[in-house]
Amino acid sequence: MPAQIMFYTKIELDFFFLHRFSSSKNIIFEKLLIATFKRIMAHILVIDDERSIRNTLKEILEGEKYQVDLAENGEQAIEMIKLNSYDVILCDIKMPGMDGLEVLTQAMRLTDSPVIMISGHGTIETAVDAIKKGAYDYIAKPPDLNRLLITIRNAMDKARLMNETLKLKKQVGASLEMIGESQALTLIKELIERVAPTDARILITGENGTGKELVARWLHEKSNRAHAPFVEVNCAAIPSELIESQLFGHEKGSFTSAIKQRKGDFEQAHGGTLFLDEIGDMSLSAQAKVLRALQENKITRVGGEKDIAVDVRIITATNKNLGEEINKEKFREDLYHRLSVILIHVPALRERLEDIPVLANYFMEQTCSRNGKPVLSFEEEAIDGLKKMPWTGNIRELRNVVERLAILCDNKITAKDVIRFAQPLAG
């Protein structure tokens, strides 16, 4: 009992200090306040056939500001799990009728909530069996109060991290979707399906903002190298004097700021895909080294003498006309032929106007969901207005325009909204 009072007092002290200091701009106190509220709102289910154990656990956990439900047998627990969402489930193992391990097995099918098994009759074999079946942890009766509370907090933290990971994976998956129904996009999708499983080098061409990187990522995800790294290098963003170090790495002391050895992008992409974006902006000296790497499947770090074998698939992209660059002697013709085994041209948005309604609605759903707003719809005249725009920034510009409309408009998007907000440079 004294231990319970001590824990309860700690929570009350937490609130006293948090309420007193949270009005300040101190970020640490704000984060602590959020964490404490999350703990208060946590919902725990206790499953045990002994009333005294159930009530004791309920009293302790409610003292810690958890919301607690009780179930006296496995059948009742399963029904409660079907009807409610729990942050943590505490389950006794030895119970009449449906025992704890059976409850665990069924609960794993119904919920992602972590299950902590508790028992006064268990053995090491029982604990191992419970963990194998998916239990988060096993605690012997009578439970040590400190260990019980720490285990509950750790289980909640793990569940929260898993949920955040799933959300991030969904966001990444959504960002890799190729949206559109035009014939041009359909042909690109068909070509990706055909060439992705091979190791053929691919050159992707198209204007800025058309989605060349998205095509490259699709090629990787549908290839036999999908499990390995996808390394992207923006050749236009790296100074010419640093591009070789970026691609091939360097040895310690090879130049003034080389204070330690560094693996280049070719080595980091070993077994996977190396995407060289804006390849048309690469210096001629770097082009010569890339050509050698493609010919021999070997690279040499800057300042090094040892050849390093590399196994990478090369995908490149450019917004330039490489034929013209070759005529100007700014791009090597032999490298071009090495890179362009397969050519994929991504059309500009003005060449696939029929995709604008689908894209606009897709970006609207994404933006509204991200900002917690109801999804806005477009009037037909508004879509017509979008189709008449020049779209020099292509898909990237359309996404920004739709985000602007989603933030600045409250109801249906009208033609007037498009004129007012979608064409800010028109005047």
In a shared domain, residues 361 and 343: no
Q: What is the pLDDT of residue 321?
A: 95
Q: Is the pLDDT of residue 120 over 80?
A: no
Type of residue found at 303: G
- The answer to whether 241 touches 342, Cβ cutoff 8 Å, is no
pTM (2 d.p.): 0.63
Q: List pLDDT tens digits, range 377-399.
A: 999 999 999 999 999 999 999 99
Q: List pLDDT tens digits, range 140-191.
A: 888 888 899 999 999 999 888 887 776 665 555 545 678 998 999 999 999 9
- Determine whether 229 is exposed, middle or buried from the number of CB atoms within 10 Å of its CB (0-12, 13-18, 19+): middle
Q: What is the pLDDT of residue 424?
A: 58
In a shared domain, residues 328 and 370: no
Is 31 contained in some domain?
A: no
Q: What is the pLDDT of residue 267?
A: 94
Give CA–CA dist 39/160, Å, rounded: 12
With cut-offs at 50, 70 and 90, classify the pLDDT of residue 28.
low
In a shared domain, residues 207 and 332: yes
In a shared domain, residues 250 and 300: yes
In a shared domain, residues 120 and 134: yes
At which of 139, 170, 201 does a domain end?
A: 170
Is 120 contained in some domain?
A: yes
Alpha carbon 94 to chain centroid distance? 41
In a shared domain, residues 206 and 331: yes
Q: What is the pLDDT of residue 22?
A: 45
Q: Is the pLDDT of residue 318 over 60?
A: yes
Q: What is the pLDDT of residue 279?
A: 96
- The answer to whether 183 touches 336, Cβ cutoff 8 Å, is no
Is 106 contained in some domain?
A: yes
Q: What is the pLDDT of residue 165?
A: 73
Q: List pLDDT tens digits, range 261-276.
A: 999 999 999 999 999 9
In a shared domain, residues 111 and 249: no
- The answer to whether 212 touches 277, Cβ cutoff 8 Å, is yes
Q: What is the pLDDT of residue 39?
A: 47
In a shared domain, residues 159 and 223: no
CATH number at residue 164: 3.40.50.2300
In a shared domain, residues 100 and 189: no
Can you state the angle between helices 145-175 and 51-63, rounded to 10 degrees? Answer: 70
In a shared domain, residues 164 and 247: no
Domain housing 401: 350-422
Alpha carbon 402 to chain centroid distance? 22
Is 68 contained in some domain?
A: yes
Total structural domains in the chain?
A: 3
In a shared domain, residues 354 and 341: no
Q: For tokens 């995908």, name the residue.
A: 315
Q: What is the pLDDT of residue 27?
A: 52
With cut-offs at 50, 70 and 90, classify the pLDDT of residue 129.
confident
Strand-pair partners of 88:
44
Of 127 and 235, the structure prediction assigns the larger pLDDT to 235
CATH number at residue 251: 3.40.50.300
In a shared domain, residues 198 and 341: yes
Is 134 contained in some domain?
A: yes
Q: What is the pLDDT of residue 9?
A: 38
